[in-house]
Amino acid sequence: MLPPDGDAADQFQPLRPGLVRLAYRMLGSIAEAEDVVQEAYIRWHQTDRSAIREPGAFLSKTVTRLCLDILKSARVKRETYIGPWLPEPVLETDREEDMSEDLSLTLMMALERLSPLERAAFLLHDVFGLGFDEVAATLDRDSAACRQLAARARKNVRAERPRYAIDREEGERVTDAFFAASRSGDLTALRNLLAENVVAYTDGGGIRNAALKPLFGFHSVSGLFMDVAQKTAFAVPPVLYKGLINGLPGYVTLERDGIVQTTTIDIEEGRIVGVYIVRNPEKLGHLSDLIGSTTLS
């Protein structure tokens, strides 16, 4: 790491949170996002800054191009990933500026289904407010092509936007009820909580036990939690954190085998329509300082 340059650092630091948010949304990884932003700072430090009229546009362009380079290899990795892929969980208090304020976990998953260029065009224009001329300069495409990229992305992402805002108190109530029902194996309570079309994703990355495919429908999802409750002898694990995770209600637990996992739920009209569980330890290490656990690595 280069020693900080006063002028470079003073201009860079106010922009850093937004750059990290951009990189995280491109990559779905906290560690990779922070590495990209650090590389962008090094390039910023080495650049003739007197020739740059808009530092924010320059740095957004740099971060986006670095992310696109990573996504070329990441796409191959995702294709060989064992089981469902979920983005690294970000807790509400994980950053001074809440990184989950404008895109929830379900939208992060929608972005994952886009091509890298579609994702970049959508994020730069629709989320971070860059004009299409700036987007075009960043992606080395003309403005018309970038408009088409963003339009295609917008159409796919729009379907994933929450149709119902989740009231915080309702989210806490449903989360508490789901935690109790799923751990006690209370099928009647689960029937009252889960929508018929509920879907569950469990991300173990081939490192921890997890379902290798998404589970669809009440019977499959409730069956998963009934099975887990029985295998763990209906034990209730310690809750290390409860609150928003990627903008949705959820909790972090320490399972009896020493594994830390995050559970996030998506709610529509009082019923749970999505359950997202991350057990892959490679995606949980950044939570250790926040929840004071040494078991995350």
Q: Does residue 192 lie in a domain region?
A: yes
Closest C-alpha among 65, 79, 148, 63 to residue 113: 79
pLDDT higher than 90, residue 247 = no
Domain ends where: 158, 184, 213?
Answer: 158
- Crossing angle (nearest 10°) for helices 168-184 and 218-231: 60
Q: Does residue 252 lie in a domain region?
A: yes
Assess whether 125 and 197 both reside in one domain.
Answer: no
Assess whether 196 and 259 both reside in one domain.
Answer: yes
| 162 CB-near residues (< 8 Å, 6+ apart) | 104, 106, 266, 268
Indicate the average pLDDT of the chain. Answer: 86
Q: What is the CATH number for 71?
A: 1.20.140.160
pLDDT higher than 50, residue 11 = yes
Assess whether 107 and 10 both reside in one domain.
Answer: yes
Comparing 72-81, 170-179, 233-242, the range with the smallest average pLDDT is 72-81
Per residue in 67-116, pLDDT tens?
Answer: 998 988 766 677 788 999 999 998 876 454 555 555 578 788 888 888 99
- Give the domain range for residue 260: 168-291
Q: What are phi and psi of 136, to 5 degrees?
A: -60, -45
Confidence at residue 292, expressed as pLDDT on a 0 to 100 scale: 58
pLDDT tier for residue 3 given thresholds of 50, 70 and 90: very low
Assess whether 49 and 174 both reside in one domain.
Answer: no
Q: Does residue 296 lie in a domain region?
A: no
Q: Does residue 179 lie in a domain region?
A: yes
Closest C-alpha among 215, 214, 191 to residue 271: 191
Name the domain count of the chain. 2
Closest C-alpha among 101, 14, 96, 111 to residue 59: 14
Q: Does residue 1 lie in a domain region?
A: no
Assess whether 115 and 252 both reside in one domain.
Answer: no
Assess whether 90 and 185 both reside in one domain.
Answer: no
Assess whether 206 and 146 both reside in one domain.
Answer: no
Average pLDDT on 194-223 reads: 94
Domain ends where: 127, 158, 189?
Answer: 158
20 is written with which tokens?
């990290």
Average pLDDT on 115-141 reads: 90
Element (H, E) at 194: strand 194-203
Assess whether 146 and 172 both reside in one domain.
Answer: no
Q: Rounded to two decimals, what is the model's pTM?
A: 0.82
Burial of 207 (0-12, 13-18, 19+ CB in 10 A): middle
Q: What is the CATH number for 215?
A: 3.10.450.50
pLDDT tier for residue 147 given thresholds of 50, 70 and 90: very high
Assess whether 150 and 188 both reside in one domain.
Answer: no
Compute CA 118 distance to the chain's CA centroid, rounded to the nearest angstrom.
18
Assess whether 133 and 250 both reside in one domain.
Answer: no
208 is written with which tokens?
């921890």
Assess whether 154 and 261 both reside in one domain.
Answer: no
Domain ends where: 130, 158, 186?
Answer: 158
Assess whether 138 and 198 both reside in one domain.
Answer: no
Q: Does residue 163 lie in a domain region?
A: no
Q: Does residue 297 lie in a domain region?
A: no
pLDDT higher than 60, residue 224 = yes
Share of the chain above pLDDT 70, in %: 87
Q: What is the DSSP letter of 160?
A: T
